[in-house]
Amino acid sequence: MPYDSKSIELKWQKIWDEEGVFEPKDDYSLPKKYILSMFPYPSGRIHMGHVRNYSIGDALSRYYRLRGYNVLQPIGFDSFGMPAENAAIKHGIHPKTWTYENIDYMKNELHRLGFSFSARRMLATSDPLYTRWEQEFFIKLFEKGLIYRKSAVVNWCEHDQTVLANEQVEEGRCWRCGNEVVQKQMPGYYLKITAYAQELLDCLKQLEGKWPAQVLTMQENWIGRSEGLEFSFKFDEQSSAKLGGIEGFRVFTTRPDTIYGMSYAALAPEHEVVKRLLDNNLLGAEAAAKVREILNQSPRERQASDKDGVSLGISVLHPLSGKKIPVWTANFVLAEYGGGAVMAVPAHDERDFEFAKKFNLPIIQSIAPKSGDYDASKAYVESGVLINSAEFSGMDSEKAKSAVISKFEELGLGRRVVNFKLRDWGVSRQRYWGAPIPMIHCPKCGLVSEEISNLPVELPQDVKITGKGNPLDAHPSWKFCKCPKCGGDGVRETDTLDTFFESSWYFARYASDERTWQQRAFDEQSVNYWMNVDQYIGGIEHAILHLLYARFFQKALRDIGYLRDSEPFERLLTQGMVLKDGAKMSKSKGNTVDPDDIIETYGADTARLFMLFAAPPQKELEWNDSAVEGAYKFLSRLYDRAENAYATDKIPQIDHAALNKEEKYARLKVYEALKKSQQVYESSFAFNTLIAACMEALNALNAQSNKDVFTEGYFVILCLLEPIVPHICAELSERLFKRQNFGELRVCEEVFESDTIKLAVTINGKKRAEFEAGASLSEGEILSLAKQNCAKWLEGKSIVKEIYVKNKLVNLVIK
Ligand code: ANZ
Ligand code: ZN
Inform me whether the pLDDT recorded for 325 exceeds 70.
yes
H helices of 545-686, in order, are 545-559, 595-601, 604-613, 625-640, 661-679
pLDDT in tens, 672-729: 999 999 999 999 999 999 999 999 999 999 999 999 999 999 999 999 999 999 999 9
Ligand 1 site residues, Cβ closer than 6 angstroms = 226, 252-255, 258, 332-334, 337-338, 340, 342-343, 345, 348-349, 419
Instruction: Give the mean model confidence (pLDDT) for residues 780-804.
Output: 90
Task: For residue 201, give the nearest of 218, 219, 214, 227 by alpha carbon.
Answer: 219
Inform me whether the pLDDT recorded for 361 exceeds 60.
yes
Atom of ligand 1 nearest to the CA of 333: 18
pTM of the model: 0.85
pLDDT in tens, 740-771: 656 667 777 788 776 678 899 999 989 999 99
Instruction: Give the mean model confidence (pLDDT) for residues 242-266.
Output: 95
Residue whose Cα lies nearest atom 14 of ligand 1: it is 338
Specify the pairing of strand 324-330 against strand 264-267. parallel
Percent of the chain at pLDDT exceeding 90: 83
Atom of ligand 1 nearest to the CA of 339: 17
Residue whose Cα lies nearest atom 26 of ligand 1: it is 253
Separation of CA 622 and ligand 2 centre (Å): 60
Separation of CA 363 and ligand 1 centre (Å): 17
Separation of CA 338 and ligand 1 centre (Å): 8
Provide the residue ranges of all domains of the chain, joining segments of one domain with +: 147-191, 225-417, 595-751, 754-814
Mean pLDDT of the chain: 94
Pocket test for ligand 1, best of 225, 226, 253, 374 (most atoms within 8 A of CB): 253
Residue whose Cα lies nearest atom 29 of ligand 1: it is 253
pLDDT in tens, 486-532: 999 999 999 999 999 999 999 999 999 999 999 999 999 999 999 99
Atom of ligand 1 nearest to the CA of 367: 31
**How long a stretch of residues is the chain?**
815
Atom of ligand 1 nearest to the CA of 332: 19
587 labeled binding residue: yes
Residue whose Cα lies nearest atom 2 of ligand 1: it is 255
Dihedral sign for Cα 762, 763, 768, 772, please.
Answer: negative
Among the four given CATH numbers 3.40.50.720, 3.20.20.450, 3.90.740.10, 3.10.20.30, the one describing domain 225-417: 3.90.740.10
pLDDT in tens, 554-577: 999 999 999 999 999 999 999 999
Query: Does domain 754-814 correspond to CATH entry 3.10.20.590?
Result: yes
Residue whose Cα lies nearest atom 19 of ligand 1: it is 333
Separation of CA 276 and ligand 1 centre (Å): 24
pLDDT value of position 742: 62
pLDDT value of position 89: 87
Ligand nearest to the CA of 444: 2
pLDDT value of position 66: 92
Atom of ligand 1 nearest to the CA of 252: 13
- The rounded distance, in Å, linking the Cα atoms of 493 and 472 is 9
pLDDT in tens, 160-196: 888 888 888 888 888 888 898 888 889 999 999 999 9
Residue whose Cα lies nearest atom 10 of ligand 1: it is 226
Separation of CA 162 and ligand 2 centre (Å): 28
Among 120-134, 379-393, 743-757, which is the least confidently predicted range? Answer: 743-757
pLDDT in tens, 31-54: 999 999 999 999 999 999 999 999
Instruction: Give the mean model confidence (pLDDT) for residues 354-377.
Output: 96
Residue whose Cα lies nearest atom 11 of ligand 1: it is 226
pLDDT value of position 754: 65
Q: What is the CA radius of gyration of the chain?
A: 34
- What would the DSSP string read from start to end of 56-109? HHHHHHHHHHHTT-EEE---EE---SHHHHHHHHHH---HHHHHHHHHHHHHHH
Cis geometry, peptide bond prior to residue 568 (ω within 30 degrees of 0): no
pLDDT value of position 306: 95
Helix (H) or strand (E) holding 16: helix 5-19
Inform me whether the pLDDT recorded for 366 exceeds 90.
yes
Separation of CA 254 and ligand 1 centre (Å): 6
Separation of CA 236 and ligand 1 centre (Å): 23
User: For residues 193 and 422, is the Cβ–Cβ distance under 8 A?
Assistant: yes
For residue 608, what are the contacts with CB-CB under 8 A and spacing of at least 6? 51, 55, 58, 59, 113, 114, 724, 725
Separation of CA 488 and ligand 2 centre (Å): 6
By the 10 Å C-beta count (0-12 exposed, 13-18 middle, 19+ buried), 282 is classed as: middle
pLDDT in tens, 604-654: 999 999 999 999 999 999 999 999 999 999 999 999 999 999 999 888 999
pLDDT value of position 338: 85
| CATH T-level assignment (fold) for domain 595-751 | Isoleucyl-tRNA Synthetase; Domain 1 (1.10.730)
Atom of ligand 1 nearest to the CA of 379: 31
